[in-house]
Structure 1
Amino acid sequence: MEPLRQDGPRPETQVLAGRYRLVSLLGRGGMGAVWRAHDENLDREVAVKELRLPEHLDDAGRQTWIARLDREARAAARLRHPGIVTVHDRVTGADGRPWIIMELVRGRSLDDLLKAEGPLPPGRVAQIGLRVLDALRTAHRAGITHRDIKPANVLLEDDRVVLTDFGIAAVEGDATLTATGAVLGTPAYMSPEQVRGEEASAASDLWSLGATLYTAVEGRPPFGGAGTGAIFVAIATEDPAPPVRAGLLEPVLRALLHCAPSQRPTADDLHARLTALVQDPPGAQPTVVQPPEPSPRPARLRGRKAVRWALAAVAAVLALGLAAVAAAFIEDQWREARKDQENARFEANKRLAKRMTSVPGKVARIDRSNEGGKAYVESELCDDATFSRNDCDVDGMVTAVVNWLRAQPNVKSVNFDGPKSMCEENPGCEFTVTTEGSPKLGQVQIYSQYLSEPDRSIVLGFQVG
């Protein structure tokens, strides 16, 4: 949906809350548009963020999107830092949509700067990273995880570096708003745990900061692919390509982009390392001779052609005024993105399941769970022949499963919910498992697996992801 309908008021005539007169459009993003406006009460320029709602949304979906913008206002309003955009007000438009009134940052984004000037020197990137980190530390101390650090959300105003767009920020104690399955975040800057569908944390923001700084110094993101799914798989399963322009910043980037959150530097450690680079910059850096750019791989060529064809198709549809078709096309793209994300999560979780050692019994299958991209593992503990002789040792099976679970480094507690008499039945007996970190284990059960009547076996089943 366009920010202003063509049959509605022109920007210069629309006034919000009786005081904020829209002047010009500054930019658009996935969830909204940002306008330059004039506060007629205080005679000052401000930035106004408008929530854009897809036209196909039902009432519940509309309320979810509105709640996201409200959450941005609450999150940013709690923060006071020169590196975080100040929120002045939250108002409601004539159609019920909320708008956020913010300070106007007179500068351009890091993304715009990179497009105009190309890769930046390591020293300048370290300075930008240090400023963003200072803002992030303030947010994290307030219990707020940004979840969408990227070059487009880093604004540069003279010597000031400003972090903006808390539209999908996770506020401690606030209900999550991801139940619709939408991909929240920008694929190339989402941490491995976000790609796997796990909860974002302060360590996730630091990974995204590392990806942002990598892009700033190298001129490209650390992970790429022909589509969202390919990017997700690369992030979840591969190491980033070694940077060639980063100089002394390279060890910092490598540490930030570690796949395991616990192995990344803390905010305090990162602050010390970036401060050392900024305060004591190295001497003249050796000239790096860049090898010729390799020819694009066919898959990447196909991906770029697909994007161009998709953009051309959207432009043609809009030119014909077929709004319903355009809405359906956009909805299909969202559905495909969600499908790609779930496929990537499943492949990552399947690999984690295959790497698990000493699983009791004999692993018979690893299938996709009915919960998103999680993997479900089934391991045979007692075969049908033994079962038919009533020789299955239920006590031994329960003990073996409990001991195996407790031996997993990410498992914090295990409780057998019983009763043991149900382990030879279906749906079986259950275990309550508390995990910390990856992989997460859930739905742990011992139950009877019906193969072909009257043959039966006893299996261990559990979910990974």
Structure 2
Amino acid sequence: MEDLGRLLAHRYRLTGLLGQGGMGAVWRARDEQLNRDVAIKELQLPEHLDAAQRQIWLARLNREARAAARLKHPGIITVHDLVTGDDERPWIVMELVRDGSLGDLLKAQGPLAPQQVAGIGLQMLDALRAAHQAGITHRDIKPANVLLEGDRVVLTDFGIAAVDGDDTLTRSGEVMGTPAFMSPEQVRGLPATAESDLWSLGATLYTAVEGRPPFTGTSTGAVYVAVATEDPAPATHAGPLEPVVNGLLRKDPAQRLTTDHLYAMLTQLGSGHPVPAQPPHQPLMAPPAPAPGSPAARGGRLRWVALSIAAAVAAVAVAVSAFVFFARTDSAYDHNLRIAKALGTPSGYTRTAEKNVGGGRARVELTATRTCGGGCSETFTANMDTCKAIREWLMIKPGIAAVGSPMLAPDERSCIVGVKPVRAPGVIQVEVALQNDRTLVRIEVA
């Protein structure tokens, strides 16, 4: 809190800390020139960054200001100014939204009613449509980035947004976002699209009604695996909102609800009318039974026999299809395991485990002993060279098109390296974890 009372650009005085995250802090401030309260975002740079990485972080904050400033919509945070401090760091001056975030509300109050969540989702969707029409993909939709003020819902934090026409600040294969709210394509290191934002919207609505994200895990890597390969946990409290979250949390972007369909569903829910899981249909009326012994009755028995035979044939076909599916899955795992093994091991590592983690996906684990006098630190801020060494080893391997920069897990005890294969199947991600006196590397192929 040493910045409390600081005066920026000779007009903005910091009066209190509103919140703090991975990239910076948000302050309440007083605009002494216009006599109004504002919010100011401060960029906080990790100490381990080199000069090039520092410039990337600075450019991201500048891009956040530009992205939000391009958008004029009541559901998107208003940017008033961009100023530079004495240390040359940029600060974004924004409108002050007074009631906190959706994440804050969930922590204080617990899960919300489906109809209330539908109303929040409708305003979020309206804001997202405005952003997408302006060529901006948010890429980090989550409860903490949804601000509330009375009945108003406001999207904020465009720090990692993709802006059409801007040079990208995310290298190919680099994974950006919050793991529990990232779409499967983002987890795989593919470019985020408007459909990716809709997935994150679905994950946010799910969290609002259930009180927890749809995908969880004991580590960042486990969350990534769940997002990419597993179905979401059942939404037991979603009620009439269930068709909406299920329609948004589909692995294939092309299969997700369209914005028009979603808008209609949320509008219907917000008015208190239930949304059917399937299109309504008229029940079939049963015809009157024919007289016993009549030609119609005999014909009916013949049709019943024919239908029974057809049903038996269909059941056999289903059983054969299931056998073929599982055989293919097993074959896919064997094939993916061979790809993982073909990478070999970096110097000093040995392969200690291999596992089928579902859907034909293969994981191999490599282990190396750590030698550190006076005790081993388990935070990657002090051991980022470990991740960088694994990244450099991956970059020279065949079958790999691009390798992203290491992304630090929230607990700072592991990092994720996004990998883009030349073709599928191929390596999609690598997790490096520090465990006491050893380093564990998990390589996954799908």
Task: Report the TM-score when normalising by structure 2.
Answer: 0.64
Name stretches of at least 5 consecutive residues in structure 1 with no aligned partner.
Answer: 284-324, 344-365, 378-438, 442-463
Q: For residues 22-33 of structure 1, what are the structure 2 equivalents within 5 Å?
A: 22-33=14-25
What is residue 447 of structure 1 aligned with on the other side?
none
Structure 1 residues 339 and 122 mapped into 2: Cα distance closer, same or farther (>3 Å)?
Answer: farther
Contact 2:175/2:187, CA 8 A, preserved across alignment: no
Q: For residues 346-425 of structure 1, what are the structure 2 equivalents within 5 Å?
A: 369=400, 371-372=402-403, 373-375=419-421
In 2, the alpha carbon distance for the partners of 1:88 and 1:267 equals 30
Residue 327 of structure 1 deviates from its aligned partner by 12
Residue 281 of structure 1 deviates from its aligned partner by 3.2
Contact 2:174/2:189, CA 8 A, preserved across alignment: no
Corresponding residue to 1:73 among 56, 60, 65: 65
Contact 1:367/1:375, CA 8 A, preserved across alignment: no
In 1, the alpha carbon distance for the partners of 2:201 and 2:140 equals 9
In 2, the alpha carbon distance for the partners of 1:260 and 1:180 equals 20
Residue 371 of structure 1 deviates from its aligned partner by 3.0
1:64 is the counterpart of 2:115: no
Please give the secondary structure, in 2, of the residue aligned with 1:108: coil
| CA shift digits 1:175-216 (9 cap, x unpaired) | 111239764210000000000000000000000000000011
Structure 1 residues 233 and 327 mapped into 2: Cα distance closer, same or farther (>3 Å)?
Answer: closer
Contact 1:55/1:327, CA 8 A, preserved across alignment: no
Corresponding residue to 1:173 among 153, 165, 177: 165
The percent of aligned pairs where both chains have the same amino acid is 64
Residue 168 of structure 1 deviates from its aligned partner by 0.6
What is residue 162 of structure 1 aligned with on the other side?
154
1:125 is the counterpart of 2:117: yes
Deviating more after overlay: 108-117 vs 143-152: 108-117
Structure 2 counterpart of 1:281, one-letter code: H
What is residue 37 of structure 1 aligned with on the other side?
29
What is residue 219 of structure 1 aligned with on the other side?
211
Structure 1 counterpart of 2:221, one-letter code: G
In 2, the alpha carbon distance for the partners of 1:186 and 1:331 equals 22
Report the RMSD for the aligned CA atoms in angstroms: 3.0
Structure 1 residues 330 and 180 mapped into 2: Cα distance closer, same or farther (>3 Å)?
Answer: farther
What is residue 11 of structure 1 aligned with on the other side?
4
Structure 1 residues 263 and 181 mapped into 2: Cα distance closer, same or farther (>3 Å)?
Answer: closer
Q: For residues 19-418 of structure 1, what are the structure 2 equivalents within 5 Å?
A: 19-179=11-171, 183-282=175-274, 329-330=380-381, 332=383, 369=400, 371-372=402-403, 373-375=419-421
In 2, the alpha carbon distance for the partners of 1:180 and 1:369 equals 11
In 2, the alpha carbon distance for the partners of 1:123 and 1:116 equals 19
| CA shift digits 1:218-276 (9 cap, x unpaired) | 11111011111001011111111221111111111111000000111111211111111
Structure 2 counterpart of 1:330, one-letter code: T
Please give the secondary structure, in 1, of the residue aligned with 2:22: coil
Say how many residue pairs are matched: 310
Residue 164 of structure 1 deviates from its aligned partner by 0.6
Residue 375 of structure 1 deviates from its aligned partner by 4.1
Contact 1:183/1:338, CA 8 A, preserved across alignment: no
Structure 1 residues 81 and 374 mapped into 2: Cα distance closer, same or farther (>3 Å)?
Answer: closer
Residue 336 of structure 1 deviates from its aligned partner by 6.0
Structure with the larger RCO, 1 or 2 (CA within 8 Å, 6+ apart)? 2
Please give the secondary structure, in 2, of the residue aligned with 1:107: coil
| CA shift digits 1:78-119 (9 cap, x unpaired) | 111111110000011111000000000001211111111111
Name stretches of at least 5 consecutive residues in structure 2 with no aligned partner.
Answer: 276-375, 404-418, 427-444
Contact 1:215/1:221, CA 8 A, preserved across alignment: yes
In 1, the alpha carbon distance for the partners of 2:262 and 2:21 equals 30
